[in-house]
Structures are given as C-alpha cells and as structure tokens.
C-alpha cells in the first residue's frame, strides 16, 4: 500500500508560468489536504477536498491558486502566473475520514522554485 | 498569536543526551500530532495523542490536556535523530491541522 504520492518532487518555473502539483492519496483515502511551507516558516493549511468537492478553501490565496480532486486521478493544486513569493514546499496529506483524529499521512512534498 | 507554540526553536545536543521538545496550544483539540521532517524530506508522523503517554523505541510523547501542553522526549539521542520536529493539533471542529513552527534538532556525534 503506497503512501501519499506527490509529484513532481521539485519544480522550477519562471515568473508568469503555471505550476501544477499532483497528489495521489493513500489507497482508500478520500480526503485530501494541501499545506504550504514557506522558507523559515511553519506549515499553513491551504485547502481541504473530498472527491469532486472543495470542502474548505479558507487558506487559499484569493487569486491565482486553485485546487481540484476529480472522481478519477490525483488531486491537483494549480498556481497560475507564479511569482517569486510562491516559492515554497507544498505538502499534501490524506485521511480516510473527515476528521483529523486519525494518524496523519503526508506526501514527500513538491518544492517549487520560481526564478 | 499562533494557536500552537513550540520551544525551543533550535536545539543542539551531544550524542547520547536526553532531549525534550515542548508544545503548548491554545485551542480545543481532538488530537495532537508529533511529526518529523528531515532536511529536504517529507513529513513523517511519529505520534498521535489525545491523552496520556505513548512510547515508540527511544521516542516518548506525553500530553496534559488540562494544561494544554505536550512534550516529545528522545532518549539516548543519535545523529540520525537530527531533523525538524513539528507539533500539530487537529481541532474539535474544522478540517485542518494547526502547526507549530518546528524545533530544529542537531545531534552532534
């Protein structure tokens, strides 16, 4: 049973390009969470999704950022027109339930560098 | 003020020392998690606690719900324990973790 899989592990984009980050949850998990870790800062919640639904996007920047979790395939975090301030590590976590009082399962993260 | 506060921010220890990392939180929680992150690496769950104490190998985690405080202890520390240790809480309501800023541990041989 593979863990939470994120790809790519490293992504370099020029300012103004689009970044697409993928997350495949653990088998049997239908809840996905995205977190951002800015340099020298702690992890911050971005968005919580279930299959085909965004449940809580209170941590998402209002512009340029979007997330989806389609019926088939991985969850995608999309950043349009990237800027240097988007450079960070983006982590995905998954859970089988809609409460986080179960063990946390995180992916390896995608490290985005905007040049 | 952050919902989760950790101390110390940085910690250097000699191999073999007993290490304690502290976490205080200010909100009602359903569980507290201790996570480990190696440089450039992913995040691994070490413990999930809602009461009492848990032990796994040389790692021990305790939580005091009344005082809203948890500690992570490492006995007989080893250089491979060098990592960032992160405290996170999940609340009674809502769908997200709240994270401390992490404690960067370096164990010197």
Q: What is the pLDDT of residues A47-90, one digit of tens each?
A: 999 989 999 999 999 999 999 999 999 999 999 999 999 999 99
Tell me how far apart the alpha carbons of residues A43 and A34 are, in angstroms, rounded to a whole number.
Answer: 10
Buried b (16+ CB within 10 A) or exposed e, A67-76: bbbeeeebbb
Q: With a cut of 80, say whether residue A101 has pLDDT above it.
A: no
What's the confidence (pLDDT) of residue A41?
A: 83
What's the confidence (pLDDT) of residue B95?
A: 67
Tell me how far apart the alpha carbons of residues A1 and A10 are, in angstroms, rounded to a whole number.
Answer: 24
Determine contact, residues B4/B23, Cβ cutoff 8 Å.
yes
Q: With a cut of 80, say whether residue A103 has pLDDT above it.
A: no
What's the confidence (pLDDT) of residue A13?
A: 98
What's the confidence (pLDDT) of residue B42?
A: 86
Residue ranges for chain B with pLDDT beneath 50? none
Q: Does A105 touch chain B (CB under 8 A)?
A: yes
Question: Which of B50, B101, B102 is nearest residue A101 as measured by Cβ atoms?
Answer: B50
Tell me how far apart the alpha carbons of residues B64 and B106 are, in angstroms, rounded to a whole number.
Answer: 27
B95 with A48: Cβ contact below 8 A: yes
What's the confidence (pLDDT) of residue B94?
A: 65
Question: Which of A41, A104, A108 is nearest residue B35 as measured by Cβ atoms?
Answer: A104
Q: Between the CA atoms of A73, A29, A100 and A42, what dihedral angle is there, to the nearest 10 degrees?
A: -40
Tell me the average pLDDT across A10-37: 95
What's the confidence (pLDDT) of residue A39?
A: 81
Query: Closest residue of B to A99, CA-based?
Result: B95
Q: Does A20 touch chain B (CB under 8 A)?
A: no
Q: With a cut of 90, say whether residue A114 has pLDDT above it.
A: yes
């Amino acid at each position: 049973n593979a863990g939470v899989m994120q790809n790519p592990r490293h992504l370099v984009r020029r300012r103004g390009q689009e970044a697409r980050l993928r997350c495949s949850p653990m088998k049997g998990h239908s809840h996905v969470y995205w977190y951002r870790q800015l340099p020298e800062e702690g992890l911050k919640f971005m968005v919580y999704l279930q299959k085909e639904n965004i449940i809580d996007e209170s941590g998402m920047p209002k512009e340029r950022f979007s997330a989806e979790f389609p019926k088939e395939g991985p969850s995608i975090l999309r950043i349009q027109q990237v800027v240097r301030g988007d450079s960070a590590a983006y982590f995905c976590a998954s859970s089988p339930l809609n409460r986080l009082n179960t063990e946390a399962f995180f992916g390896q993260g995608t490290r985005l560098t905007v040049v | 003020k952050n919902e989760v506060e950790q101390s110390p921010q940085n910690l250097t220890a000699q191999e073999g020392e007993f290490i304690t990392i502290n976490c205080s939180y200010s909100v009602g929680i359903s569980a507290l998690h201790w996570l480990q992150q190696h440089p450039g690496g992913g995040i691994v769950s070490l413990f999930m606690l809602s009461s009492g104490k848990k032990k796994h190998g040389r790692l021990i985690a305790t939580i005091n719900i009344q005082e809203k405080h948890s500690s992570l202890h490492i006995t007989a520390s080893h250089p491979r324990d060098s990592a960032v240790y992160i405290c996170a809480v999940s609340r009674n309501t809502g769908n997200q973790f709240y994270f401390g800023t992490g404690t960067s541990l370096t164990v010197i041989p």
